[in-house]
Amino acid sequence: MKCRYYVEGFDEEEYAYEIDTSSSSAENAADDCAEDWHNNHDGWEVKSWPLWFRVQLDDGPWYRCKVDREISPYFTCYESEEVTP
């Protein structure tokens, strides 16, 4: 299913992005759109979430969906050494 979307305050309908989604509800599609916008369109730079997404599935009506971003910690080991118990 095709999904067009834009983010209020950042984009406009005439410049809407388009993704493929397996979601059939606007809410689930909005999650997919938020992930695409965050990863591929500099959305990661935005510090203040939640954001309002305008979402259109195929050629249906537009929906306004409020999407929040969860913070997931990322861990990196910088050094290790073998030790005896």
Residue 83's pLDDT band, with cuts at 50, 70 and 90, is confident
Mean of pLDDT values over 51-66: 94
The full set of domain ranges for the chain reads: 2-67
Q: Which tens digits make up the pLDDT trace of 16-57?
A: 999 999 989 999 999 999 999 999 998 889 888 899 999 999
Percentage of residues of the chain with pLDDT beyond 90: 62
Express as a percent the part of the chain with pLDDT over 70: 98
The span from the CA of 50 to the CA of 52, in Å, is 7
Does the predicted model carry a pTM greater than 0.75? yes
| H or E segment to which residue 38 belongs | helix 26-40
The total of other beta-carbon atoms located within 10 Å of residue 62's CB is: 15
